[in-house]
Amino acid sequence: MLDIIGDLKTSVASTVRAAVWGIAAAICGVVGILFLLIAAFLWLAARYDPLTACLVMGGAFVIVAIATGVAFALIRRQADLRARQRRARAALDPAVLAGALQVARLMSSRTSTLLLVVAAASGFLLSVMRSSAMDEA
């Protein structure tokens, strides 16, 4: 028992140290990129004029922002598609259907079974309507 706790403490300490060093590396990377951008701006300002340098740097950042926005939208769309497919497979999974049938058998009265069937059908219809609404958006 004590060995498990010691291993857990060692693991947590190692994870915390790795996270601190990772954060420090990320901060240094951001500062390095910032200095490179400042150097690029100064070079452009010396070669052309400050207004042109600002326009070039601003345009470059707008292009990068548009590209990352498009990439984000595509990744999000693929993830939504995969989740929709996963939900569709889960709804038709024999184990899920067998479990629902078993629950229906456990509920002895006809009213309870009817309510369960109505609830399952309405849940299925709502999920279909929601997925079709997401397809239109």
pLDDT of residue 108: 59
Q: pLDDT tens for residues 114-135?
A: 777 777 777 777 777 776 666 6
Residue 48 CA to residue 90 CA, distance in Å, equals: 61
Residue 75 CA to residue 125 CA, distance in Å, equals: 27
| Residues whose CB falls within 8 Å of the CB of residue 52, separated by 6 or more in sequence, listed in order | 44, 45
Domain ranges across the chain: 1-47
Tens-digit pLDDT string for the chain (137 aa): 557 787 888 888 889 999 999 999 999 999 999 999 999 999 999 999 999 999 999 999 999 999 999 999 999 999 889 888 887 777 676 776 777 777 767 765 566 667 777 777 777 777 777 766 666 65
Residue 134 CA to residue 116 CA, distance in Å, equals: 27
